[in-house]
Structure 1
Amino acid sequence: MAAFFVLIFCAAVPGHAKEPGASPPPAVKMAIEPIEIVTASGAHRLRVEVARTPDQRERGLMFRTSLPADGGMLFDFHEERPVAMWMKNTPLSLDMVFVSRAGKVVSLALAAEPYSERVISSGGPALAVIELAAGVAQRLSIAVGDTVKHPIFER
């Protein structure tokens, strides 16, 4: 079963320092797109960077020191499968929202510890992960079963 897990996001980039304050490698360009998350408190519109390529997913939010209040990153795996994340080289605490192909929230990891190498699992198949600044998932009342609207879901 472990062979099905993909450990990507926030991974160390070979040849670069791994300590807080390390000099980041060059940024990878990503599209910024609207996304909507429908929760018990209503529909919430955000603008997220979309990581579609292996290089974009590997870089993720590494070395970032801030995120816009209505921003984050959507990681598109292109296929539904169990995924795992870590926070190596990531100075921000993040909320991770794991989403199925149908656009349903399948699990959450709240306030992930900056720079941690602890593996954070989706707990089951996910097509995508949305990373938000820590506290945003709670502020928006995001819960398992909520709906995420973006063109990558149900394609």
Structure 2
Amino acid sequence: MGSSVAGLIGWRRATRICKTFLFSLILTTASGAVAQADCRADQVELRWPGGQARFSVELADDEAERARGLMHRETMPRSAGMLFAYETPRRAQFWMKNTLIPLDMIFADQQGVVTRVHSNAIPQDTTVIDGGDGVQFVLEINGGLAKRLGITAGAELRHPKIASSLWACDVE
């Protein structure tokens, strides 16, 4: 019985590792496929030394949408998120009241350069999460994912809302 349980635990761990690897493989690519994809309003692309990722996103670009954010949701697909877009750079502060899932918050300036990453924000916590000054975009993704993928300050975001000279969307 003991070896069967140990085998099952080993199998579950191996399955989890394989799923994480496959998910990472889907999101990141060394071939540059993400960098050459068309920009879409429902996707955010990221790149950093050694990696790239793409997330399907909901856009929160007005006061009501930003206030609602991801509150009251019990789950979110692993490759999904929400992009908060402000009209001008500002000090961005968030809290997790009424948010039921842990989130990573990726703060970026007006050019889409990541300035700060807050990992694993605690569900329903009212502690203020300060993204700092000069923030124009905030990407929220599932908690722990930024670290797993290697997303840190200096990474770049691309989305039609980001009028960046660093990694702009092609305008046709």
Range class of TM-score, shorter chain? 0.7 to 0.9
Q: CA deviation at 1:100?
A: 0.6
Pairing of 1:3-18 with structure 2 (within 5 A)? none
The structure with the greater share of residues assigned to helix is: 2
Structure whose alpha-carbon radius of gyration is higher: 2
Q: Does 1:106 align with 2:123?
A: no
Pairing of 1:130-141 with structure 2 (within 5 A)? 130-141=139-150
SS in 1 for 2:67: helix
- Equivalents in 2 of 1:112, 1:74: separation in Å? 16
* Structure with higher RCO (Cα < 8 A, 6+ apart): 1
**Structure 1-normalised TM-score?**
0.77
- Off by >2 Å, runs of 4+ in structure 1: none
**Structure 2-normalised TM-score?**
0.69
1:109 partner letter:
H
Query: Which one of 151, 154, 160 corresponds to residue 151 of structure 1?
Result: 160
Q: Number of aligned pairs? A: 125
The structure with the greater share of residues assigned to strand is: 1
SS in 1 for 2:77: coil
Superposition RMSD in Å: 1.5
Q: Which runs of 5+ in 2 are unaligned?
A: 1-39, 165-172
Deviations 1:99-140 (A, max 9, x none): 111110011110011101100001221001110110110122
Pairing of 1:54-73 with structure 2 (within 5 A)? 54-73=63-82
| 8 Å CA contact 2:107, 2:131 repeated in 1 | yes
- Equivalents in 1 of 2:113, 2:84: separation in Å? 15
Q: CA deviation at 1:32?
A: 6.4
Deviations 1:67-95 (A, max 9, x none): 11110000011110111000000111110
Percent identity for Structure 1 against Structure 2: 35
Q: CA deviation at 1:46?
A: 1.1
Q: Which runs of 5+ in 1 are unaligned?
A: 1-30
Pairing of 1:70-81 with structure 2 (within 5 A)? 70-81=79-90
| 8 Å CA contact 1:34, 1:47 repeated in 2 | yes
